[in-house]
């Protein structure tokens, strides 16, 4: 899956957790993209089995979509925390950098970061 698709799934997950219901316009606003861009992405993600369109134009993650979104979001949280713990990067910059790293980092490196964060007193909700 492309990085942009992962970003859309993660955004839908986060907005769902925050607001309960998510529409394309909410995703467009959160990501700073146009509604037509979101519509095209949602069509692709629907074809791939990650998203469903529900009543009132709501976006709903499928089981497959939720699993992928949760995996990406976990990477985001762990990498952010790792950067703050090891390099004393402030939270905003760590979150921004994590958005870039989360898509390309190897599983092995991610697992080592995760172990480091766990071993150095990370808050449970971070992981």
Q: Which stretches of the chain are DSSP H helices?
A: 3-19, 24-31, 35-47, 63-87, 91-101, 107-119
Q: What is the pLDDT of residue 55?
A: 86
Residue 13 lies in domain? 3-62
Q: Are residues 84 and 113 in the same domain?
A: yes
Looking at residue 126, its pLDDT comes to 46
CATH number at residue 110: 1.10.60.10
Query: Is the domain of 50 the same as that of 83?
Result: no
- Count other Cβ atoms within 10 Å, centred on residue 51: 26
Q: What is the pLDDT of residues 71-94, one digit of tens each?
A: 999 999 999 999 999 999 999 999
Q: 55 and 76: one domain?
A: no
What pLDDT, in 10s, does the model give residues 51-72?
Answer: 999 888 899 999 999 999 999 9
Out of 27, 46, 62, pick the residue that ends a domain: 62
Which tokens is 9 given?
């799934």
């Amino acid at each position: 899956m492309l990085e942009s698709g992962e970003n859309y799934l993660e955004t839908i997950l986060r907005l769902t957790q925050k607001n309960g219901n998510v529409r394309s316009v909410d995703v467009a606003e959160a990501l700073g993209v146009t509604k037509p861009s979101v519509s095209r992405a949602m069509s692709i993600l629907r074809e791939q089995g990650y998203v469903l369109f529900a009543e009132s134009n709501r976006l709903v993650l499928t089981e497959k979509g939720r699993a992928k979104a949760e995996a990406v979001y976990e990477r985001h949280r762990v990498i952010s925390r790792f950067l703050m713990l090891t390099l004393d990067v402030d939270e905003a910059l760590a979150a921004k950098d994590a958005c870039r790293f989360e898509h390309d980092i190897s599983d092995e490196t991610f697992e080592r970061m995760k172990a480091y964060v766990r071993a150095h007193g990370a808050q449970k909700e971070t992981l």
